[in-house]
Structure 1
Amino acid sequence: MTITSPTLSEAADTYAKARLGLYIDGAWRDGAAGRSFDIINPATEEVLGQVARAEESDIAEALAAAERAFPAWRDTSAFERARILNKTVALLRERAPEIGRLMAIEQGKPLKDAVMEVVRVSGTLEWCAQETRRLYGRIIPTDVDTSLTVRYEPVGVVGAIVPWNFPAGSPMRKMSAAIAAGCSLVIKASQEVPATVCALAQAFHDAGLPAGVLNLVFGRGAETAHQLIDAPQTRLIAFTGSVPVGKELAARAGGLMKPTIMELGGHAPVIVCADADPILAARRASAAKWANAGQVCTSPSRFFVHESIVEEFTAEMVRQAEALTIGDPLETGVTMGPLINAKRVESISHLVDDAVAHGATVAYGGERIGESGYYYAPTILTNVPMDAEVMFEEPFGPIAPITSFTDLDEAIAAANDLPFGLAAYGFTESAATADKLVRGFEAGILSINHCGGSVTEAPSGGVKESGIGRESGPEGVQAYLITKRISHKLR
C-alpha cells in the first residue's frame, strides 16, 4: 500500500471556480434566508466553500416551476426532447475532465474514476434520449366495431432525492429517465458534493432544456424529502439511499398513494466455489471491493470462500490491497481516495473492532491512515463469525470480511440470510453450479465470475428490503410513465 500526500492549494483553487447554488425555474440563485452548507474536502478536511441551503419557500417555488413546465414538456415531441438531451450529452463529454476534477475534490474518488463516471452518465443520458423515441403503446385485437389501445404518458412532476457516493451517477439516473419520459422534476442532491450535480444542471441549461423542467435544491434530508412527498404537485418519488430512510419515505408516500422508486442499500455476498480459480476470483473481487473506497451499494461485502481455496484467495486479496496507492485523488496513479466524512471513518473503525472482538483476524489494514483527511486502510478480515456486526450491517467502506464454507447449499443460505437483496456474486467454472447460484441468490443484480455493477442498458434494483422498482434499461424509463387503456366504440 502506497500513500501519497494531498495538495491543499490545487483543490481549493479549482473548487473556487465552480458554480454552486440552487437551480430553480432555469436560473441560479441563493436560498431565501441566505443560509448555506459548508463543503469539506475529504482528503484534507479543509472547507472548500459553501452551497446555498434551500428553505421551504425555495422548494415550493421549485415545485411550482416544475408544475408550470410539465404540460409543455409532456407535449414536446420525442424527437425534440431527444435533440436537447443529445446536445447535453455532447456538452458533458466535452466537460468531463473539469467536472471529474470537481468530483474528485469534493467526493474523494480518484480523478481517473471521476472523469469516467461523467463519461458513463453521458452514456446513460444518450441511451435515455434514444429510448424516448421507443415508448410505444400497442393495439389490442377486439370486436370489429371497437378500438382497444394502450398508451404511455409521463407521470408528471417527480420528486427525487439522491446521495453523495456517485455525485454524477446517482442524479443522472433520475434526471435522464424522468426528463426523457417527458416529466419535470425537483431533485434534492447531497450538499456534501454539490459542484458535480450543479455542473450537470448547467449542461442541461446550456443545451436548451426549458426552464422549470429540471430544478435542483440542497437541503436537510428529512425536511426536504417530506416537503417533496407531501407536495400536491409531485406524482412520483424517486429515492436512492439507506434502507431505514427508504422505508420511512416509502411509508409517507404510501399514505398519499404516491408511487415510489426505491434504490436502497444491500450487503452483497460473494460465493467462491471449490472449482473457481481463487487468484482470478480475488483479483476481480478486489477491483470491485476497493472501488470508491467501498462506498458503493453493490460493493462485494461478504465473502464466502470454499475451505479448500480460502488461503489462496485471501493471500491474493492481501496482495491486491498492498498494490493500492492511497492518497490525494487528484494525483496521478492514486487508486483509492479517502472516505467521504468522519462518520464513515468512525463506522468502519467500529465494525473492525467489533469483528476482532468476536474472534476475527485482521489479515491486512484495520486502521486509519494519517492525521488529516478521512483515509482508512483497505482492510481484510479472516475467520469472521456470522455474529460479527460486519456480517449483517452494510459496511459501505473498505472492509472485506472473509469466512469459509464446506457445503454450497449452506453458503447460499447464509448469503440469503439477511433482509437485503440488492447484488450478489458467484465464482465457479461449472455451468450447473452457476445456474444453481443464479437460481439460489435472492438479489436483483447478479454477476457470475466477476463483480459487475449497474449498466445503462439493463435494469438495476433490489428485492426484499433493498428497494422497489428498477432503474436503467427500458424498465427505468417506464417507471416514469403511466399506462392508459383506451376503448373506443367506432360506431
Structure 2
Amino acid sequence: MSTYPDLNLLIGGETIGTSGRETIDVLDPATGEAIAGLPKASSADLDAALENAKTGFATWRATNADKREAILRKAAGLIRERAKDIGAAITREQGKPVKEATGEVIYCAMLLEFYAGECKRLYGRTLVRPDGQRVEVRHEPVGPVAGFSAWNFPALNVMRKIGGPLAAGCSVIVKPSEETPAGGLGIVQAMLDAGVPGDVCQAVFGVPDDISRHLLGSPVIRKVTFTGSTAVGKHLAKLAAEDMKVATMELGGHGPVLVFNDADVEKALDTMASNKFRNAGQVCVSPTRFLVEEDVFERFRDGFVERAEAVKVGNGMDDGVDMGPMASERGPDGIQSKIADAKDKGAKLLTGGERIGNQGFFHQPTVLSEVPTDAEIMNEEPFGPVAIINPMSGYDAMLEEANRLPYGLAAYAWTQDTKRRAKLSSEIEAGMVGINAGSVSAADAPFGGVKWSGYGSEDGAEGVTACTVTKTIHENA
C-alpha cells in the first residue's frame, strides 16, 4: 500500500499544515477509513491568498512569454517524473486503478506542454487602415483567477484550472476537491518547484460554499472556472455575475451513444464498454444512454452484458483490477436509488445492480435495458458504473432522444454512412461529439459543453484565450 502524502495549504509560497487548524478527514474509498487530515483555510488565509494573487498577477503578466514557457515546460517534466507517486496518492483518495491514475497525471504533463507553447501563440491582429491610422487587437490576461475542481479527476481537473490561466499570464487560486486533495496538490507543487512564483499559483481548502463566496466576493478575482455539477455551476455563475466576472463552467452531462445498424458492432462494444466503466463511470463525458437501432439491439445488448460481467472490480492498488470503488459513500447509494426507481418503472436489470462487500464503496458494473424515459436515471446523470441500453426505431427517434435532455457535454455515434456522419455532426446538440470514436479529449482540442453542461472551453488554444480579455487600440498619427 502506498504512502499517502501530508496535506497542506499553499499560500504565497508558504506550506501550511494541519497544526492548530480545523481539519477535514480524507477517506480511502476502498476501505471507507480516514487516511489523512486536510487543513481548512481561515478567512485570514483567504484574504492573504487574494492579496498574493493581486501582486502575483502584476509580476506574472509582465514576465516575458519565453520565460513563462520555460517554467511551464519544466513543471511538465517534474509532473512526468512524479507521475507514479502522484498516481498512487490519487488511487488512495479516489479509488481508480493506479494505472489509470498514473495515466491521468501523464496527461496533465501533456496538457501543460501544449499550454506552454500557447504562451507565445496569443496572437492579436492589426486591421487594414489608411496611412496615418492604426487599429490593433490585443488579447491580454483577464486577471487573477479562482478555480474550483471536482473529485473525479483529482490531478487533471486542477491542471485544467491552472494551466490555461498561467499560460495567459494570470495568477490562480485553486480549490481542489476536499475529498481528493493530494492529486491537485501534487500538480500545484510541481508548478512551484519549477519556478512559478508562490503568489502566482496557490491552493486552498475548506467548506466549498464558504471558500467560493469569499473568493468571488472579492474584486481581486476577475474570472471563475469550475468543474462539477450543474446545480453548483449555476450557483457559482450567479456569484460571478454579481461582479461581472468572466466564467468558464464545465458541468454535468448524460452522454448519448447512437448505434446504427451499419455500425461495426464489435468495435463499438469494445470501445464503449471500457469507456463506460472507466473510473467506475464517474466521468463527465461517460457514455450512458445507448440508443441502439432495433436491427442490432439484441447483439449489442448481449455483447455489452458479456463485457460488463468480465470487468474485474477491486482495490485500485492491486494488479489486474479494471475498476476500483466509487469515490464516496454517496456514489453507490445514489446508484442504488436510481436502479430501484428504473426497475419500478419497468426497466430490465440485465446484470449487476448491487453493492460489492461491506467495506468501502464498491458497486457492480450494471446494465439496464428498455428503460422508460420517465425513469430518474434517464433524466439525471447516474455518474456511476451503469449503462442504459434501449432499442430505437431509427435516425429520427435516436436523434430526438439524444437531444431530449437539457445537457450537452459529450455524445457518441457509430455508423459507416458518411452522409449520416455529416448530418449527426451538425444535428447532435453537444460540445463534443465522437463518431466511431470513444475519446473526445485531446490536449490541443477544446473541452466543454452546451446547454446545462456549461459554457466556455478548457484545453486547446481556447483554454488559454478563455483567460484573456480583448482590447482594441485605435490610433491616429
TM category, shorter: over 0.9
Alpha-carbon separation, structure 1, partners of 2:363 and 2:445? 33
Partner of 1:39: 26
Structure 1 position 275, deviation (Å): 1.1
Q: Helix, strand or coil for the counterpart of 2:189?
A: helix
> Is contact 1:279-1:312 (8 Å) kept?
no
Identify the residue that residue 64 of structure 1 maps to in structure 2: 51
1:203 and 1:19, CA in 2 relative to 1: closer, same or farther beyond 3 A?
farther
The C-alpha deviation readout for 1:389-448, integer Å capped at 9, x for no partner, is: 111100000000111111211110111011111111000011111112212110000000
- The answer for the alignment partner of 2:75 in structure 1 is 88
Unaligned runs of 5+ in 2: none
- Structure 2 counterparts to residues 417-436 of structure 1, below 5 A: 417-436=404-423
Aligned residue number for residue 3 of structure 1: none
Is the contact between residue 32 and residue 54 of structure 1 (CA under 8 Å) also seen in structure 2?
no
Q: Is the 8 A contact 2:6 2:36 kept in 1?
A: no
Structure-2 separation of matches of 1:58 and 1:108: 30
Which amino acid in 2 is paired with 1:72? T
Residue among 296, 312, 327 paired with 1:325? 312
> Quick check: 1:136 aligned with 2:115?
no
Count of residue pairs the alignment pairs up: 477
Corresponding letter in the other structure for 1:281: A
Amino acid at match of 2:304: M
1:252 aligns with 2:243: no
Shift of 1:33: 6.2
Equivalent-residue separation in structure 2 for 1:472 and 1:32 (angstroms) = 37
Distance 1:147 1:273 in 2: 55
Query: Residue in 1 aligned with 2:228?
Result: 241
* Matched residue, 1:275: 262
**Contact 1:282–1:314 at 8 Å: present in 2 too?**
no
Contact 1:32 1:57 (8 Å CA) reproduced? no
The equivalent of 1:384 in structure 2 is: 371
Residues 307-342 of structure 1, C-alpha deviation per residue, up to 9 Å, x if partnerless? 111111011111111221110101111110000111
Alignment of 1:378-457 (within 5 A): 378-457=365-444
Task: State the match for 2:152 in structure 1.
Answer: 165
Contact 1:19 1:198 in 2 (8 A): no
Aligned to 1:4: none
- What is the identity, as a one-letter code, of the residue corresponding to 1:477? V
8 Å contact from structure 1 (residues 99, 118) kept in 2 = yes
- The residue type equivalent to 1:102 in the other structure is A
* Mapped partners of 1:221, 1:451: distance in 2: 33
Cα deviation, residue 43, structure 1: 0.4
Cα distance in 1 for residues equivalent to 2:423 and 2:355: 40
CA positional deviation for 1:31: 6.6
Normalising by structure 1, report the TM-score.
0.96
Alignment partners' CA distance in 1, 2:233 and 2:191: 28
In the TM superposition, what is the alpha-carbon distance from 1:177 to its structure 2 partner? 0.6
Partner Cα separation in structure 2 for residue 208 and residue 67 of structure 1: 18
Which of 335, 344, 347 aligns to 2:331? It is 344
Mean CA deviation greater in 137-146 or 116-125: 137-146
Check 1:229–1:31 CA distance in 2 against 1; reply closer, same or farther (3 A cut): farther
2:470 corresponds to 1:462? no
Asked if the contact 2:254–2:288 (Cα under 8 Å) also holds between the matched residues in 1, the reply is yes
1:212 correspondence with 2:199: yes
Partner of 1:180: 167
**Aligned equivalents of 1:277, 1:485: Cα separation in 2:** 51
* Residue 263 of structure 1 pairs with residue 243 of structure 2: no
Task: Give the alignment partner of residue 226 of structure 1, picking from 207, 213, 225.
Answer: 213
Distance 1:360 1:277 in 2: 27
CA deviation vs aligned residue, 1:41-76 (integer Å, no higher than 9, x gap): 000111101111112221111111111111111000
Q: Is the 8 A contact 1:110 1:336 kept in 2?
A: yes
Partner of 1:115: 102
| Paired residue secondary structure (1:134) | coil
1:241-264 per-residue CA deviation (whole Å, 9 max, x = no partner) reads: 100111111122112211100011
1:210 to partner: Cα distance: 1.1
Give the conservation status (yes or no) of the 8 Å contact 1:268–1:299: yes
Contact persistence 2:18–2:38 (CA under 8 A): no
TM-score normalised by length of structure 2: 0.98
2:336 is paired with a residue whose SS is helix
Please point out which of 273, 290, 300 is paired with 1:303.
290
- SS at 2:381 equivalent: coil
**How far apart, CA to CA, are the structure 2 residues paired with 1:184 and 1:46?**
36
Distance 1:425 1:304 in 2: 10
2:99 maps to amino acid: K
Conserved in 1, the CA contact under 8 Å of 2:139 and 2:471?
A: yes
Q: Secondary structure at the match of 2:102?
A: helix
- Tell me how far 1:32 sits from its aligned partner: 9.2
* C-alpha contact 1:31 1:58 (8 A) present in aligned 2: no
Amino acid across the alignment from 2:443 = T
Mean CA deviation greater in 96-105 or 250-259: 250-259
CA RMSD of aligned residues (A): 1.1
Q: Shift of the alpha carbon at 1:183? A: 0.3
Offset, 1:277: 2.4
Measure the CA separation in 2 of the matches of 1:33 and 1:485.
Answer: 50
Residues 81, 129 of structure 1: 8 Å contact kept = yes
Q: Secondary structure at the match of 1:282?
A: helix
